[in-house]
A and B are shown apart, each in its own frame.
Chain A
Amino acid sequence: MQNTISLPTPVSPIKHFIKKWGATIFVTLTVIVITIWQYSVDGRVTEAVLASTIRQSTPLVLGALCGLLGERSGVINIGIEGQMLLGAFVGFLVNVWTGNLLVAVFAAIFTGAIMGLLLAYMSVHLKMDQIIGGTVITTLAFGLTGYFYQVGLTTEGKLLPIPLGPLADIPLIGRAVFNNPPITYATFVLVILVHYVLFYTKWGLRTRAVGEHPRAADTLGVDVYKVRYINVIAGGAIAGLAGGFLTLEAVGSFERAMTNGRGFVALAVMLFGKYTPLGAWGAALLFGFANAMQTQLQFADIQVAHQFIGMLPYVLTIVILSGFVGRTRVPAADGVPYEKE
């Protein structure tokens, strides 16, 4: 009987590698080629584009982190926009009152966390429809900020870039990467941190289990409700920080509805990044890059209506990401309230 068993041939590892990383490598190379080409034409423009890429991507990737913490544990959060906006507003107000930027940043984070708590209460405890829960939060944020906002409030400035010594002088990337204000640096750290927590720690394992098969987690003594509460609250805090970025670091003041859809774009970024922090970062950077290029094109002398150029980053992102990035796997229990009995 030995002669009849032929060993199966597995797919070659090269094929597997290309399938998994091909799209990422291709897009990255394209971006690098465009950048180098542009650098050879005009170095200063390139530096501006890169700096703008980072700036634009920061609130998006923070929003995406908020979204994926929730969804990895099974709670859909479409209230990111609202959490951001309220964080931005409260951060701004606290800055106006105290003049202390650090306190203001923590106020923004705290506000986001409270909104996270509200969402968790609605979706985990009350088992409300999570889409409605998220909408409640966004509507609430728009309503509150619109009502309490007074024109004419001014602040004592905003968070300023901190150059990281000689690193900031590296040509091309020095200014964009190593000369940023604190929340941007914090974002770099957060992306790595959340990635680490999600995929390499006990908490992350439990979070993913709860998002995939809460009952299995429950039978092993994992407190499904607690895991969901904490992740959603942590996500809210990160969204609050994104709001803080807008008022305390990027703009320096508050305007009505200033989040301008970033909370929703963040959701797309999260999806394109396949629910991983590093993936979301890549997607956010790509979007930021396309956006920065778009701004440059507006200055260039091209006979195309500026609305079309304005669309470019969105179109490009959709084409690249839907064309190259494979299927995203949504956590199995995403959006499903957990019933104990």
Chain B
Amino acid sequence: MTEENLALEIRHVTKRFPGVLANDDVSFTLRKGEIHALLGENGAGKTTLMNVVYGLYTQDEGEFLIDNNVVEINGPSDAINYGIGMVHQHFMLVPVFSVTENMILGSEVTKGTSLDLRRARREILEISEAHGLEVDPDAIVENIPVGVQQRVEILKALYRKANILVLDEPTAVLTPQEAEDLFRVMRALTEKGVSIIFITHKLKEVLNVADRITVMRRGKVVGHTSPHETDQKGLAAMMVGREVLLEVKKAPAKPGDVVLEVANLTIEGERGLEVVKDISFEVRAGEILGIAGVQGNGQTELVEAITGLRSIDAGEIVLMGKKVPFENPRYLVENGMGHVPEDRHKHGLVLPYNLADNFVLCTYYQKPFAGQMLMRNHQAVFENAVGLIKRFDVRAPGADVPASTLSGGNQQKVIVGREFSRPLKVLVANQPTRGLDVGSIEYIHKEIVKMRDEGVGVVVISAEIDEILSLADRIAIMYRGKIVTTVDAKDATREQLGLWMAGVQPEAA
């Protein structure tokens, strides 16, 4: 091969965690101005490799070259100085800070001894305009939807003038439209000489934007390819090591009685804005209702209200014919509601707890997990965990490791395992496959359909039109806090859903 123009070269990196070989002699090259996709199953070691490059972890073996020179990266500030920017898989944003404060943290602009927030604000608006990534610099991060938070993350790297940009599953929280915008931004950046490492589980995107593709499995690089040498099926097989079904197989639904009814629900969000406006719908046993909508149109609040995490301002929720007391998650849990939350760190897991404890978060006080007197039945808790880890194929060294040490996708499987293993009447799944690899998506979709066939009423909220189309029996489209229309999945087309999600009003039929 001729002398290549490399922005970054990773040579023989090995990284071990207690009980896990996360990166096993990994080598990787990034050419100047290319988009290099890094693919692999959940837990393959992609994030770990990037964290090593970014200086968050220290490698056990191996070295890095930037612009063909060996460099020492001892911490994120070194990485930033070498022009490496990283958008982390899980947001690295301070929730109580404003967008501006988050952007400048660590690279503050000052005037005398004071922070110059006004100048920072102006610079942020400039960059955000230049790249078409719209943000409100004064918004408090915890009040803005995840999609916008992701935008802030990307801007953060651009603000630091990164010329090697690592995007660790940036599209996991984006809508197709937003993802398209991001790809445009990415292409524009590569034209300016920025090189991008792009991690994703969405094979379509990879084929769409990547120049080259590297696939990892169980800590090792298992192959290189490029979009014109392969297709989705080929990539999936390469990642998982077997054939993967990319479509859901399901029989027509046999809807039964109404299990969940939402009537005239209205929710005021922060600053007194109505985020959910007079929403009504019902879900029957044995059907899947898909709620499609662009992130931030009230789905988060709607789900939080249904699952007891948020108070409402008007309306009622009826579960199995009984009016639900508000803000009472335990009532819901005990009456057969399962919830796969959107934000797995905030509402899904207790990160410092081990897997076994996370698996019994809803049931720890019941038999068999609560033993005699005030004691716990550790054996039952662990047996439960071992069973679920096996059944849901969670990649972890054991049931006693903290949930925080799992890869993102495996954390999601822990939540899904916990919820699906309880006796359910209603399942509310908000972005259930976000961040999962194709093999796991196939598995979780199969499980959701199985739930439905066993007579559970399922609500799936997703910003992925494909996921909604392949899972749902009926589809409701949410826009600006309202359900604009509900259609039978048989009659829905991708294009039509896309238009409705973007706010085009349905024709009065």
A contacts, CB < 8 Å to B: 1, 4-5, 8-11, 200-202, 205-206, 208-209, 212-213, 215-222, 329, 332, 340-341
Which of B27-35, B101-109, B392-400 forms contacts with chain A?
B101-109
| Chain A: minimal CB distance from B456 (Å) | 34
Contacts A209-B97, A221-B75, A221-B106 known; A200 to B114 CB distance under 8 Å? yes
**A332 and B95: CB pair below 8 A?**
yes
Q: Given B80, B110, B504, which contacts A202 in the complex, CB threshold below 8 Å?
A: B110
Interface residues of B in 71-87 (CB under 8 A from A): 75-77, 80, 86
Q: Are B57 and A205 in contact (CB under 8 A)?
A: no
How many Å from the CB of B488 to the closest CB on chain A?
23
B368 within 8 A of A: no
Asked if B92 and A341 make an inter-chain contact with CB atoms under 8 angstroms apart, the answer reads no
6 A-B pairs with the lowest CB-CB distances in the bound complex, closest first: A221-B77, A220-B106, A11-B272, A216-B92, A8-B273, A202-B108
A5→B113 CA distance, assembly (Å): 45
CB of B503 closer than 8 Å to a CB of A: yes
B225 proximal to A (CB < 8 A): no
Query: B105 contacts which of A10, A200, A216 (Cβ < 8 Å)?
Result: A216
Contact of A205 among B91, B105, B272 (CB under 8 A): B105
In the complex, which residue of chain A has the Cβ closest to the Cβ of B107? Answer: A220
Q: Which of B54, B104, B272 contacts A10 (CB 8 A)?
A: B272
B271 at interface by CB-CB < 8 Å: yes
When distances are taken between beta carbons in the complex, the residues of chain B under 8 Å from A205 are 101, 104-105, 108, 115
CA distance in complex: A77, B283 (Å): 52
- Residues of A near B57 (CB, < 8 A) are 341
Q: Does B480 interact with chain A (Cβ within 8 Å)?
A: yes
Q: Pick 28 A–B contacts, CB within 8 A, sort by A.
A: A1-B503, A8-B273, A8-B274, A10-B272, A11-B272, A201-B114, A202-B108, A202-B110, A202-B115, A205-B101, A205-B108, A209-B94, A215-B92, A217-B105, A218-B56, A219-B56, A219-B88, A219-B92, A220-B80, A220-B106, A221-B76, A221-B80, A222-B105, A332-B95, A340-B56, A341-B17, A341-B57, A341-B58
Q: Who on chain A is nearest to B54 by CB?
A: A219
Select from chain B the residue with minimum beta-carbon distance to A212.
B94
Residue B237 lies at the interface, judged by CB distance under 8 Å to chain A: no
* B94/A206 in contact, CB under 8 A: no
Given A209-B105, A218-B56, A218-B76, are A9 and B272 neighbors across the interface (CB < 8 Å)? yes
Return chain B residues, CB-CB under 8 Å to A212. 94-97
How distant is A1 from chain B, measured CB to nearest CB, in Å? 5
Q: Are A213 and B56 in contact (CB under 8 A)?
A: no
Nearest Cβ in chain B — how far from A315, in angstroms? 32
- Closest chain-B Cβ to A216's Cβ sits at a distance in Å of 4
A10 cross-chain contacts in B, Cβ below 8 A: 271-273
Q: Give chain B residues whose Cβ lies under 8 Å from the Cβ of A209.
A: 94, 97, 101, 105
> A206, A208, A216, A219: which has the most chain B beta carbons within 10 Å?
A219
Q: Within the assembled complex, what's the spacing in Å between the Cα atoms of A332 and B75?
A: 24
How big is the B interface, by class?
35 or more
User: A9 to chain B: which residues have CB within 8 Å?
Assistant: 272-273
B95 touches A222 (CB 8 A): no
B113 partner residues in chain A, CB cutoff 8 A: 201
Q: Is B496 an interface residue (CB 8 A)?
A: no
A341 CA to B108 CA, complexed, in Å: 26
Residues A213 and B93 in contact, CB atoms below 8 Å apart: yes
Report A14 CB to chain B, min CB distance, Å: 13
Q: B486-509: contact bitstring with A at CB < 8 Å (1 yes, 0 no)?
A: 000000000000000001110000
* CA gap between A341 and B51 in the complex, in Å: 10
In whole Å, how far is B309's beta carbon from the nearest beta carbon of chain A? Answer: 18
A216 partner residues in chain B, CB cutoff 8 A: 91-94, 102, 105
Known interface pairs A10-B272, A221-B80; 5 further A-B residue pairs with C-beta atoms within 8 A, sorted by A's residue number: A205-B115, A219-B54, A221-B76, A222-B105, A340-B56
> Chain B residue with minimal CB distance to A9?
B272
List residues of B (242-298) whose CB comes within 8 Å of A's CBs.
271-274
Residues of chain A with a CB closer than 8 A to B93's CB:
213, 216
Once the chains bind, are B94 and A11 in contact (CB under 8 Å)? no
Interface string of B377-396 (1 = CB under 8 A from A): 00000000000000000000
With A209-B97, A213-B93, A220-B106 in contact, do A201 and B115 touch (Cβ < 8 Å)? yes
B404 to chain A minimum Cβ distance, whole angstroms, is 9
Residues in B with CB closer than 8 Å to A208 are 94, 97
Query: Taking CB as reference atom, which chain A residue is nearest B405?
Result: A341
Q: Which residues of B contact A200 (CB under 8 A)?
A: 114-115
- In the bound assembly, the distance between CA atoms of A220 and B93 in angstroms comes to 10
Give the residues in chain B near A1, CB-CB below 8 Å: 503-505
Query: With a CB–CB cut-off of 8 A, which chain B residues contact A332?
Result: 95-96
Q: In angstroms, how far is the closest chain B Cβ from the Cβ of A273?
A: 17
In the complex the two chains form, is A220's CB within 8 Å of B76's CB? yes
CB distance from B209 to the nearest CB of A (A): 25
Interface flags for B116-133 (1: CB within 8 Å of A; 0: not) read: 000000000000000000
B505, closest chain A residue (CB): A1
B86→A219 contact, CB < 8 A: yes
Query: What's the nearest-Cβ distance from chain A to residue B199, in Å?
Result: 16
Residues of chain A within 8 A (CB-CB) of B54 are 219
- Looking at B104, B105, B480, B504, which has the most chain A CB atoms within 10 Å of its CB? B105
A199 CB to closest chain B CB (Å) equals 9
Contacts of B77 in A (CB 8 A): 221
Q: Name the residue on B nearest A11 (C-beta).
A: B272
